[in-house]
A and B are shown apart, each in its own frame.
Chain A
Amino acid sequence: MKCTYACQSAEHLLARRSFLGGMAAGVGAVVGGLGALARPALSDQLVKEQKRIIVVNMHGGLSQLESWDPKPGTDTGGPFRAIPTSVPGLQISELLPETAKVMHHLAVVRSINTAEGDHGKGAYMMLTGRRQTPAAEFPQIGAVAAKSLAADRAGLPGHIRITPGGGGGRGNDSAYLGPQFASVALDNGKAPANSARPANVSEQADGQRQDFRRKANDHFASKRRTAMTDAYTSNYEQGLQLMQQNHVFDLTKEPEKDHDRYGKHDFGRHCLLARRLVEHGIAFVQVSHSNYDTHNENFNFHFEQMGEFDKPFATLVTDLADRGLLKHTLIVVLSEFGRTPNINQYYGRDHWGNAWSVVLGGCRVQPGAVIGKTNANGTAVSDRQVDHANLFHTYLQATGVDSLGSFDIGGRQLPIADPASSPIKELLV
């Protein structure tokens, strides 16, 4: 697949390949569960509360200066102005007028220093909370959420990525948590690949086929039952349940007026689908908006991209709040890094991990909070520096997961988040 990033980063080619698995392996592996969580009592409580996470991934590296930390009138500020928000004293870019109205539901962390300017490494850090090393692979936030927050929610996957297009099937993002917590990608918002009964197989024939499979399984299991055969059987049943709940992914069941409110472009549809999925109990949904890798004409492209992002995102936040879901749903807007304060010769901004921003809200996140500061022209963090590991802890703590705890994987205690780091406690209530 052709890399869509301006800098032609090879990491994206590899990452995209992982999307291409099929539901043949996919639905069979869709199993939620909490058996391996080190503190099952807490897990049970979380499951009961049905906490959820929506991550909006601004692919390519959103400019903090054209979004959450504008610096108008400075040598790095660019041409866009800052506007007031629903939080007194908090200003964001004029490119986000609708989001400005809902900032009292959200919080901004303006003091991120990940010191990483590589797309692949930055994305890995922001989604796993760890720096990539050859020695170990770590699960992404979606896999951790699926394992920690999702009960066996009637066969639905706990970790979903809505991709802008060009990918379906399973990701390889669950590391040691196993494939059952790997993401299921919804290619441009479509239902999981191969999750509908083929048109040339009647319901009756399908039922007979499943009955035959069960009888064969039972016969085999009566003499040669193992944990592996149980897993296969369970996976097939889970896959079947997913097929029976295919309507969960059917956006046509949402009212037409909501399609209008969110906008009839891909990102609007994907935000509406995210709402639908969390309303149906999906633990983790990642929506992507692409692409912000604006080495060239940063201001034209941010005008275009932020213009598309603003209304659907604000509508999603509003709906989650109005429906009482924001108490149970963490929403995070992140990127792999920010963009350079320095404006290059092409009116572009380049990769910058040293002083940038993330927005989050819901669950235990303090509404309207502003954490940290950058200096006058945004070239450095000047107060309360945090990094990817702090944020990863914070996301989990916001949903009630003890990020300082461990997963019990085959008897090994594996820290859920970087044990050397900690959450941004003042951001949580």
Chain B
Amino acid sequence: MPTDPTKAHVASQWAHTSPLIACRFDPLNRFVFSTAEDNTIQRWKLDSGEKIAFTAHDSWVFALAVTANGETLLSAGGDGRLVWWPVATEKPEPIRKVEAHQGWIRAVTLSPDGSLIATVGNDQIVKVWSTADGTLVRQMSGHENQIYSALFHPTGQFLLSGDLLGIVCQWEVATGNLVRKFEAKELHSYNGGQGVHFGGVRSMAFNPQTQHFSCGGLYKSENPLGAVLEPLVNVYEWESQKLVQSQIAEGIKGPLWRIVNHPESYLIGACGGNSGGFLLFWRPDQNKEFHRFQLPNLVRDLDLSSDGIQIATIHFDKHLRITRLEAKAEAKT
């Protein structure tokens, strides 16, 4: 049955003891993982909300990824550490820890076949690791500022890395060669009065047909230090690099923390800022969202379940929320 974002509703929510930062589904839809400002990772059972803590980081965990077979969780964060975990264990202990970057790791992504892990962060280096044994396969330099996001092309041939300045580097995975750059400069601004760079490519996504490549973040940042800004997605034609759509959400103040493309060919954005928390839904040929769903609290990350029907969001108010993209089940009488 197709999804219906206009019927989106929060189906369940569970509270942690600290504000949450990031979340990812287990692809087998047994669990959702979240991270929190207390440096821990939480594994939540989707059917009951039962929670277990995973502890191995000395800083906030900014990035999670789960292998497609549902066996291995990867976590990375402000301590520069990349950690492998068994997903379903009852007594979580790291399988492997690698001191992967100098400073923050901001993003972790898995290759489509699951054999490679890419990490990026504040040291401006893109690193590719073997999922199987944790060895460094190669590293690439070319960014001139902090790298915020990373994503493999669905073919696995290329790796994309997006930075604070709005530059996306396209790397050939087999060689580490820089193929070309996208310049999503609308997502970056420099405020001379405040002396700060702001924005960046916060998230990237391919549409299901892979002819469109999207970069999400923020623009109109009149007051970066005061959180005055609006969400923006730049949609590019992958082959030509032509900007084909700038997707916005009028009247909403806040950055897009993550974008994902739904298999039914609409884009979902998690927007959390001055206006509160929203899930925004865009059609590929429209610049304004076709639906916005307001969440009870400011959202900081989202993930889409492999069945396409559930969205996990994590929030400042310490809650993990599961939103279903369908009408509520009618109450039994």
Identify the A interface with B (CB < 8 A). 2-8, 60, 72-73, 75, 78-81, 94, 164-166, 266, 289-291, 293-297, 301, 303-305, 343, 345-346, 348
Contact = CB atoms under 8 A, between A and B. Distances in A.
Contacts, number: 89
B225 A293 contact: yes
Contact of A2 (B38, B104, B146, B193): B193
A384 B239 CA distance: 65
Given A4-B194, A81-B79, A165-B192, A296 B227 contact: yes
Given A75-B37, A343-B19, A343-B37, A290 B195 contact: yes
30 contacts: A4-B191, A5-B194, A6-B194, A6-B225, A6-B227, A60-B194, A60-B225, A73-B58, A75-B38, A78-B37, A79-B59, A79-B104, A81-B59, A81-B79, A164-B195, A165-B192, A166-B193, A266-B195, A291-B225, A293-B225, A294-B225, A296-B226, A296-B227, A301-B224, A303-B122, A303-B146, A305-B196, A345-B298, A346-B273, A348-B227
Nearest to B58: A81
Contacts of B38: 75
Given A75-B38, A81-B79, A303-B122, A7 B226 contact: yes
Contact of A291 (B37, B39, B194, B298): B194
A294 B225 CA distance: 5
A296 B78 contact: no
B77 interface: yes
A6 B226 contact: yes
Nearest to A95: B103
A290 B78 contact: no
A4 B39 CA distance: 33
B226 A295 contact: yes
Contacts of B18: 75
Nearest to B221: A296
A291 B193 contact: yes
B316 interface: yes
A166 B101 CA distance: 39
B158 interface: no
Chain B interface residue count: which class?
Answer: 20 to 34
Nearest to B61: A79
Task: Label chain B's interface by main secondary structure.
Answer: loop
Interface centre among A4, A78, A79, A289 (most CB of B within 10 A): A79
Contacts of A81: 58-59, 78-79
Contacts of A80: 59, 78
B215 to A, nearest CB: 18
B60 interface: yes
B16 interface: no
Nearest to B60: A79
A266 B194 CA distance: 13
B197 interface: yes
Given A2-B193, A165-B192, A303-B122, 15 more contacts: A4-B193, A4-B194, A5-B194, A7-B226, A73-B39, A79-B62, A80-B78, A290-B193, A291-B195, A295-B226, A304-B196, A304-B197, A305-B196, A345-B297, A346-B298
Given A73-B58, A80-B78, A345-B298, A301 B226 contact: no
B223 interface: yes
A305 B191 CA distance: 13
Contacts of B37: 75, 78, 343
Contacts of B192: 165
A164 B19 CA distance: 36
B166 to A, nearest CB: 15
Contacts of A290: 193-195
A293 B228 CA distance: 13
Interface in B186-214: 191-198
A313 B219 CA distance: 32
A166 to B, nearest CB: 8
Interface string B248-287: 0000000000000000000000001100000000000000
A129 to B, nearest CB: 27
